[in-house]
């Protein structure tokens, strides 16, 4: 699930404020509904079939930083950040 535009703007504002201090790649926080190296056609089909309620909400208790490769079995957590406001 791609975050709404207002969340994306906050991320862009933070990166802009960091300026030269931020040396990492661009990233976009999101929630993945499927993992793996799948053909784009299958990914689009699955995404079109997902029906989430318009009023869906959830609390985020932890942010996990993970560089993603093709195989989720190879993923490692670089950092786990507990969020006080998510409790």
Please report which confidence band the pLDDT of residue 26 belongs to, taking 50, 70 and 90 as the band edges.
low
Residue 87: the pLDDT is 47
Long-range Cβ contact pairs of 75-84 (< 8 A, separation 24 or more): none
Domain assignment present for residue 15? The answer is yes
Each residue's pLDDT tens digit, 41-70: 998 898 889 888 888 887 878 878 787 777
Domain assignment present for residue 87? The answer is no
Phi and psi torsions of 84, nearest 5°: -60, -35
Residue 65: the pLDDT is 79
Number of separate domains in the chain: 1
Domain assignment present for residue 65? The answer is yes
Higher-scoring residue by pLDDT: 72, 30 = 72
Q: What angle do CA 26, 32, 33 make, to 5 degrees?
A: 160
Domain assignment present for residue 34? The answer is yes
Tell me what the mean pLDDT of segment 12-38 comes to: 71
Domain assignment present for residue 72? The answer is yes
Domain assignment present for residue 58? The answer is yes
Phi and psi torsions of 86, nearest 5°: -90, 0
Domain carrying residue 38: 5-82
User: Is the pLDDT score of 39 beyond 80?
Assistant: yes
Length of the chain measured in residues:
87
């Amino acid at each position: 699930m791609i975050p709404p535009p207002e969340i994306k703007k906050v991320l862009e504002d933070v990166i802009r404020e960091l300026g030269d201090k931020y040396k990492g790649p661009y990233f976009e926080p999101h929630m993945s509904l499927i993992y793996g190296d799948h053909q784009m056609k299958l990914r689009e089909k699955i995404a079109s079939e997902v029906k989430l309620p318009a009023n869906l909400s959830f609390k985020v208790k932890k942010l996990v930083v993970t560089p993603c490769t093709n195989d989720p079995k190879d993923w490692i957590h670089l950092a786990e950040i507990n969020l006080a406001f998510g409790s």
